[in-house]
Amino acid sequence: MTTMPDQGPRPASALPSVRARALAFAAIVAMGACGAVIGASLVKVQCKGNCGTPEGLGAIAGGIIAAAGVAVMAVLTLRAMGEWRRISEAELAGPDAEDQEG
């Protein structure tokens, strides 16, 4: 059985955990679906007669707008979490580790 040699401390990374990224993806998909329902419903309330195409367009537009809005918030949140973790690890390492890096 071979073992990996110790490569020293892990390099600083602002990459969020897999669980956080999966939750962000699930939130984007869920809010996209909610936006699609809202967009279709908004058109359905205002339209009379054959409204299949306008409802579909309303659903697509609502889904895209909602998913894009939540995606922006998810990216900002994930970046803030990663930066917070990196700063916390640097503070725990102490001032000696900062002197060695730069």
Pick from 51-55, 70-74, 88-92 the range whose average pLDDT is largest. Answer: 70-74
Q: What is the mean pLDDT of the chain?
A: 84
Pick the closest to residue 57 from 39, 71, 33, 45 (CA basis).
Answer: 39
Query: Which residue's entry shows tokens 């939540």?
Result: 70
Task: Tell me if 82 sits within 8 A of 14, measured CB to CB.
Answer: yes
What counts of helices (H) and strands (E) characterise the chain? 3, 0
Residues 6-19 have a mean pLDDT of 68
pLDDT at 100: 57
Q: How confident is the model at residue 84 (pLDDT cuts 50, 70, 90)?
A: confident
Cα 4 off chain centre by: 33
Amino acid letter, 102? G
pTM score, whole prediction: 0.72
Structure tokens at 99: 């002197």
